[in-house]
Amino acid sequence: MHIVYNFIFLFAAWRWGDWRNWEKYYPTILFFVFGDLLHNFIMYNHYYWLLHENLLPTVLPNHTIISLMTMVISYPATILIYLKYFFQTKKWWLRALHLVIWVTLYLGGEFVNLRLGLISHHNGWHMGWSILFVIVMFIMFPIHHKKPLLALGISLLFIVFLLFQFNIPLEKMK
């Protein structure tokens, strides 16, 4: 099923993404991918969520493979579309609406994936934490696009907050 989701993101990026200007979005794509890689590395032994595949489990046998595929396909697609339309207007309420639409899209996908058994939450993580995480994530993308160091600083503070909130001991890290 994750292959289907990634194909949908790939199609959406082909149709609505700003491919002509992909270079200006590249640092934010890397920011998105690096954040997930960092999460997967730090939380290797004490994860918040795991991805599962039920349609093609021999092709996507584990969380790592599914996550890497998502980083390569869905994350660049998200940034190419999200930032293109986010910056097309100067009106704050249209930007806020755009953010709400993307947050709803991502959270709706997570909710459906929970029901289908394609994702599972662990170690105290639940949809409430996902709501906060996804909102912060989509707020960080435009900040990173304009002021990367500010976004890195805020993200570092958010990571530290989550580590303390969930009492992640250093010995649980890889």
Q: What is the DSSP string of 27-57?
A: HHHHHHHHHHHHHHHHTTTS-SEEE--SS-T
pTM for this structure?
A: 0.93
Question: For residue 50, how far is the Cα from the chain centroid?
Answer: 14
pLDDT-derived band of residue 11, with 50, 70 and 90 as boundaries?
very high
Tell me the HSE value of 14 on the side-chain side, using a 13 A CA sphere.
Answer: 7
> 91-133 pLDDT, tens per residue?
999 999 999 999 999 999 999 999 999 999 999 999 999 999 9
Determine the pLDDT at residue 43: 84
> 20-73 pLDDT, tens per residue?
999 999 999 999 999 999 999 888 888 899 999 887 777 788 888 999 999 999
pLDDT-derived band of residue 174, with 50, 70 and 90 as boundaries?
low
46 with 168: CB under 8 angstroms? yes
Would you call 104 exposed, middle or buried from its count of C-beta atoms within 10 A (0-12, 13-18, 19+)? exposed
Query: Which residue type does 174 have?
Result: K
